[in-house]
Amino acid sequence: MKEDKDARWFELECVPKEYIFPKEYRPQNLDSPVCDSIPVISLAKSKAENGHSQPVEEILKASQELGFFQVINHGISEKTVTDAMNVLKEFFDMQAKDTTTKTAPHKKGYIYTNSTDFAKDGVHLWRENFKHPCHPLEECIHLWPDTPTRYQEVIAAYIVEIQKLSTRILEMICEGLGLEQGYFKDTSEVQFLSSNFYPPCPDPSLTLGILPHVDPSLITILYQGGSTGLQVMKDGQWVNVGAIPNAFVVNIGNQLEIISNWKFKSAKHRVVTSTHQTRRSIATFVNPSPNCIIEPAKNLVNELEPTLYKASQNLVNELEPALYKPSQYKDYVLHSNAFGDDTATIQNGLR
């Protein structure tokens, strides 16, 4: 091992034992080829041919089958995204160097997790993470880091664009599901940002960047800077999400799975590490407002009174009972411990 006292926690020749997951969690078959089964959807305007436009059809299909897709031609400028990636890189670099600026982690809703924070049963994840609330932007922005100096300006510009993109995607989802336009309008906000830094790891077969989970969001929009490592569970197998420069990865969160009455799937995903690549990602969680009641959309449910039920046995295939009970989003978050150890802090920051 290197003796350099300035070395960062990951600059090692072997994986320290606190980062080695029990066998059942360790990733396997890491050398299998990248499987490009995650649909890549162009949002460029396309003519509607009797029915939905092509992106709507593709989003509908991907959300039903896998719950993950990538979008290209999304209209967000490369500069907005590169600026955000650069300022976050600077932020993480500063955490490593300067102990006096170790964020202001106790401001409302702020969470900086370095690699020594426990993830599961005392094992550490191979990553650093920084999360904070984003909504309402004008109230949150001054609680964000003021170093790097451009942090607030650059990240606010990024969030504004992500909000527009998410509105657009949710409108297409409304159309695809046959929900009235604006169904999500007042209840979907980019509530918080979670950025990740996954450094190279001496032995990826022993470690994980993020444990398998589903997102407690409506949708999550992730930028992964053309890097690999994200994997999605598909038919019982982990498949890789391909590295596509300038694309955003969109996944269906479990709140949209509920609203769609399980027509859409919220897929389990995780991040594996790499010996040579540094992965940086920005996840933005588009969530319902805390007081919003989440339940299957009324016009996706078709239930009959029990007395009518018998008479309609021949209609049984058309019945679509609600598969989930209504719950306020904030109760859901609390009861399901949606953000693990960070749940209470995040909950306090949600508006």
Name the site residues for Ni ion (rule: CB under 5 A).
215
Of all residues in the shown chain, the one whose CB is closest to Ni ion is 215
What backbone torsions phi and psi does residue 189 show, to the nearest 5 degrees? Answer: -135, 150
- The one of Ni ion, ligand OGA, none whose footprint includes residue 230, by CB under 5 to 8 A per kind, is ligand OGA
Q: Contact 88/282 with Cβ under 8 angstroms?
A: yes
Closest to ligand OGA by CB, 215 vs 257, is: 215
- The one of ligand OGA, Ni ion, none whose footprint includes residue 196, by CB under 5 to 8 A per kind, is ligand OGA
- The one of Ni ion, ligand OGA, none whose footprint includes residue 208, by CB under 5 to 8 A per kind, is none
- The one of ligand OGA, Ni ion, none whose footprint includes residue 161, by CB under 5 to 8 A per kind, is none
Q: Contact 244/277 with Cβ under 8 angstroms?
A: no
Distance CA(275)–CA(277), nearest Å, equals 6
Binding site for ligand OGA (CB under 6 A): 194, 196, 210, 215, 222, 224, 230, 269, 271, 281, 283
According to DSSP, the β-strands at 219-223 and 111-113 are unpaired
- The one of Ni ion, ligand OGA, none whose footprint includes residue 174, by CB under 5 to 8 A per kind, is none
Q: Taking the complex as a whole, how short is the minimal distance between the CB of residue 208 and Ni ion, in angstroms? A: 13
Give, for 343, the enclosing helix (H) or strand (E).
Answer: helix 343-349
Q: Taking the complex as a whole, how short is the minimal distance between the CB of residue 222 and ligand OGA, in angstroms? A: 6
Q: Taking the complex as a whole, how short is the minimal distance between the CB of residue 280 and ligand OGA, in angstroms? A: 8
- The one of Ni ion, ligand OGA, none whose footprint includes residue 281, by CB under 5 to 8 A per kind, is ligand OGA
Distance CA(102)–CA(346), nearest Å, equals 19
Distance CA(78)–CA(80), nearest Å, equals 6
Q: Taking the complex as a whole, how short is the minimal distance between the CB of residue 232 and Ni ion, in angstroms? A: 10
Q: Taking the complex as a whole, how short is the minimal distance between the CB of residue 48 and Ni ion, in angstroms? A: 32
Closest to Ni ion by CB, 54 vs 347, is: 347
Q: Taking the complex as a whole, how short is the minimal distance between the CB of residue 35 and ligand OGA, in angstroms? A: 17
Closest to ligand OGA by CB, 30 vs 304, is: 30
Q: What is the full DSSP assignment across 157-221?
A: HHHHHHHHHHHHHHHHHHHHHTPPTTTTTTT-EEEEEEEEEE---S-TTT--SEEEE--SSSEEE
Q: Residue 230: name the closest of 198, 253, 257 by CA.
A: 198
